[in-house]
Chain A
Amino acid sequence: MSGVDNGVNVQALLDAREVLKGAPEAAQFVWRATSKWEKGVHSTTTIQKYFGLGQEQSHKTRAEFSADHPEVFAAEDNGITPIEYLLVGLASCLTAGVASVAQNRGIQLRSVSSTVEGSHDIRGILGADSDVRNGFNDIKVTFNIDADASKEDIQALVAQSQKRSAVFDALTNPTDVTVEVA
């Protein structure tokens, strides 16, 4: 296993796992985003602070994300559509998982790329057919991985990364969502 470096500090993660086993309160995180309407269907969402390990935390820098609709929806296309952000989340989460699991299993990665496709029947959001759901009908992720490992081991990497993925879980399992007006 020595010499394998995918740039993931697996030891720190394993140590954290041990510590948090005995301190479930510290494991409670709250991720936050604040969003502001710009004009039309264009909005800007900012992310910087979050809560975790028992206290307020902050990312090194503030990140801003523009969301809009494309011109085919008669909008200005100032940013990607909100549902595409889910693809960003899924792809980056699975990729991070592949790298971490590979590091933990002593597999050197040379390249990892993936394509994520979400099929979406927009009759749902347009209210054109009440039998069509608003969200994705399905999502397909295709990984291309070049690594020092057998095909079988690579498949196992990808399977394990799904098993431990926050976004995969959030997309495949229902979550309670409460929306209020302050």
Chain B
Amino acid sequence: MLERGEIANSWRHERWDSLRLLTPNWLNRLPGHSYQGPDPDGYLTMGEVVEFIEHFAVASAAPVRTGTNVESLRRDGDGYLVSTSRGDLRCRAVVLASGACNVPTVPAISAGVPTSVAQLTPFDYRGPDHVAEGGVLVVGASATGVQLAAELQRAGRQVILAAGEHVRMPRVYRGRDVLWWMDASGVWDQRYDEVDDLTRARRLPSPQLVGTPERSTLDLNALTGLGVELVGRLAAVRDGSALFSGGLRNVCSLADLKMRRLLAGFDEWARTTGRDAEVGPPEEFAPTTVAASTRLRLDLRGGDVGTIVWATGFRPDYRWLDVPVVDEKGRLRHEGGVLDSPGLYALGLPLLRRRRSTFISGVEDDARAVVDHLAKHLPASAG
């Protein structure tokens, strides 16, 4: 196992200070390794995640070579040549587990932002104290965006949050973590070859969830309650002004409808599997409140906003990969983790084989399936 940094590198170096996992402790299962502490319903801090993964590395005796950057991977005979910062390696099979979130995605329109406004990605952001004076425009209302917007607003910054399509969820539904429902009802077991529009499902933004000791919901209504101003998707930056879509109401209706459909599915599952007595009564959530008129334009030179935070998602970085398995959008082409190059595999991508694949607990089943395939490949390629 080659790792350019340290074990649990992304959790050490690519996350902000206050971040906790949004998956509850009991759910972060790794093969033969699960949370044993006193708070199974809680959410790990970054320090605790690092510890959890370090323990797993020791328990599984993983042969990790840290500080070894893979600089290129190319086909070589019936195997691969891996060039690393510590020399070359030849191998018959390779599993790409280099992560799905190596670089924050920043839209091209950022180039038009006046230089007087600071721009941060989630990799640059540590906490409100490190953000320049003044208001903050947070672009993107998925897990990262809603969490940073809430933290900055609570720290006394006026936050404007630009929201496009998003995934709304209550933290707790009928007394259980919403991810308990995802797990138990089988939503997370849905396979990649059962999903209607796989491309779309793989690009689905993360849910508006945060892990806090209070297990509170962090949807757009909660943010409005904190004083955050909601605006539509950031569509353009023109002549020093940010221009927002007038379609906020519809993206909120879509998110409300999808949430209601999801929760109705949970209710149906609880009813038909006779689990109604285990959980609380069905709950309803108020539709997202959108102001009668939302701001369509923000003068970035006017001084209201000192910083823009781009919470516009992450993408993988395959610049080191010299095998033609990357599509025109920079994503790996694969069939459930099997790439179109013999002996080459991937793990740790959104919906790789199941909805669960996007999360820490998804890797167990995925690794088993991919390793099965790999094990069959090895004898075939021997000699």
Contacts and interface: CB of A to CB of B under 8 A. Distances in A.
Contacts of B247: 162, 168-169, 172-173
B13 interface: no
Interface string B250-267: 100110010011000000
A171 B253 contact: no
Contact of B236 (A160, A163, A168, A174): A174
Contact of A138 (B238, B243, B293): B293
A78 B257 CA distance: 44
B293 A173 contact: no
A152 interface: yes
A159 B236 contact: no
A172 B253 contact: no
B257 A172 contact: no
Interface string A147-182: 000001001100110110000110111100000000
B245 A172 contact: yes
Contacts of B238: 174
A173 B245 CA distance: 5
Contacts of B236: 173-174
Main secondary structure of the interface of B (DSSP, over half): mixed
Main secondary structure of the interface of A (DSSP, over half): helix
Nearest to A173: B235
B246 interface: yes
A59 to B, nearest CB: 29
B93 to A, nearest CB: 30
B246 A163 contact: no
User: Chain A interface: which size bin?
Assistant: 10 to 19
A137 B233 CA distance: 18
User: Chain B interface: which size bin?
Assistant: 10 to 19
B254 A159 contact: yes
A155 B250 CA distance: 11
Nearest to B241: A174
A174 B250 contact: no
Contacts, number: 37
Contact of B235 (A159, A163, A174): A174
Interface string A113-141: 00000000000000000000000011000
Contact of B250 (A152, A159, A173): A159
Nearest to B249: A162
Nearest to B238: A174
B232 interface: yes
A156 B235 contact: no
A152 B257 contact: yes
Interface in B251-286: 253-254, 257, 260-261
Interface in B198-254: 232-233, 235-236, 238, 243, 245-247, 250, 253-254
A20 to B, nearest CB: 14
Contacts of B246: 171-173
A155 B247 CA distance: 16
B232 A156 contact: no
A162 B257 contact: no
Contacts of A152: 257, 260-261
B257 A159 contact: yes
A27 to B, nearest CB: 14
A178 B27 CA distance: 54
A127 B232 CA distance: 28
Contacts of B261: 152
Contacts of A160: 254
Interface-centre pick from A163, A171, A173 (highest chain B CB count, 10 A): A173
Contacts of A171: 246
A17 to B, nearest CB: 10
Contacts of A155: 253, 257
Nearest to B257: A156
B254 A163 contact: yes
A94 to B, nearest CB: 11
Nearest to A24: B328
A160 B250 CA distance: 9
A172 B232 contact: yes
A159 B159 CA distance: 27
B243 A174 contact: yes
A162 B254 CA distance: 10
21 contacts: A138-B293, A155-B253, A156-B257, A159-B253, A159-B254, A159-B257, A160-B254, A162-B250, A163-B165, A163-B250, A163-B254, A168-B250, A172-B232, A172-B245, A172-B246, A172-B247, A173-B233, A173-B235, A173-B236, A173-B245, A174-B236
For the complex of A and B, list the 10 residue pairs with the smallest distance between their C-beta atoms, beginning with the closest: A172-B246, A172-B247, A173-B235, A174-B243, A162-B250, A174-B236, A159-B253, A159-B254, A172-B245, A173-B245
Given A172-B247, A174-B238, A174-B243, 19 more contacts: A137-B293, A138-B293, A152-B257, A152-B260, A156-B257, A159-B257, A162-B247, A162-B250, A163-B250, A168-B250, A172-B232, A172-B245, A172-B246, A173-B235, A173-B236, A173-B243, A173-B245, A173-B246, A173-B247
Interface of B: 165, 232-233, 235-236, 238, 243, 245-247, 250, 253-254, 257, 260-261, 293
